[in-house]
Chain A
């Protein structure tokens, strides 16, 4: 069974630009969560989607948004990039909204210059 796929793996953007990251969950999984990982703040929850609905949102500014499609694939978007947005963005997939097993992708490394 294929794992969680995230594209692209690496990305370099300039301040003020916007970026879209993609996550394809494991086949059959309907819940997708996103996390930001930085050396200073550690792992922080961004948002969670299930059946195309956002179920939970972390404490991030409105520049961070996401969506989920009918095939469970998810995208997150960051507009007006800031240097502090440089991070590893991780996606996790699970079967339902109360799954004990969450499977993480390898992440997208975003560098903002």
Chain B
């Protein structure tokens, strides 16, 4: 079945460091890919998305490119801030070949801790 694998955390960085969180997926067809962020005590917020191969999603300095050849959707940011400390989830929505669903399959989440 469809699945998402993302790197184990925690990831600890100093402020202004470069961030990469790896995400790979297994799915048939052409799934849509997402990154969500969860701050302590809150629900999930959509950070960025990509709906087809080679799309680049971007938001708040974060970027991720949908790579079908490597089935990857790695999250990057050039200079992290303390306020970026949170749990980041990679997710996919399956290509349902005409069916319709909002069902998301999530990775296990990666805790990012940014130190001043």
| Most chain A Cβ neighbours within 10 Å, of B101, B106, B107 | B101
A56 surroundings in chain B (CB, below 8 A): 101, 103
Considering the chains assembled together, what is the distance between the CA atoms of A105 and B44 in angstroms? 7
Interface membership of B20, Cβ < 8 A: no
Interface membership of A75, Cβ < 8 A: no
Majority SS at the chain A contact face: strand
Report the interface size for chain A: residues with CB under 8 A from the other chain.
Answer: 27
Contact among A44, A48, A90 for B44, CB-based, below 8 A: A90
Stretch at the interface among A14-22, A66-74, A96-104: A96-104
How many pairs of A and B residues are in contact by the CB < 8 Å rule?
58
B104 surroundings in chain A (CB, below 8 A): 33, 35, 43, 45, 92, 102
What's the nearest-Cβ distance from chain B to residue A29, in Å?
11
B22-62 toward A: CB 8 Å interface, digit per residue (1/0)? Answer: 00000000001000100001111110010100000000000
A103 surroundings in chain B (CB, below 8 A): 46
Pull 15 A–B residue pairs with CB atoms less than 8 Å apart, ordered by A: A43-B89, A43-B91, A45-B104, A58-B103, A90-B44, A96-B100, A97-B100, A97-B102, A98-B100, A98-B102, A99-B102, A100-B32, A102-B102, A104-B44, A104-B45
B interface residues (Cβ-Cβ under 8 A, vs A): 32, 36, 41-46, 49, 51, 89, 91, 100-109
A interface residues (Cβ-Cβ under 8 A, vs B): 4, 31, 33, 35, 42-45, 48, 55-56, 58, 90, 92, 94, 96-107
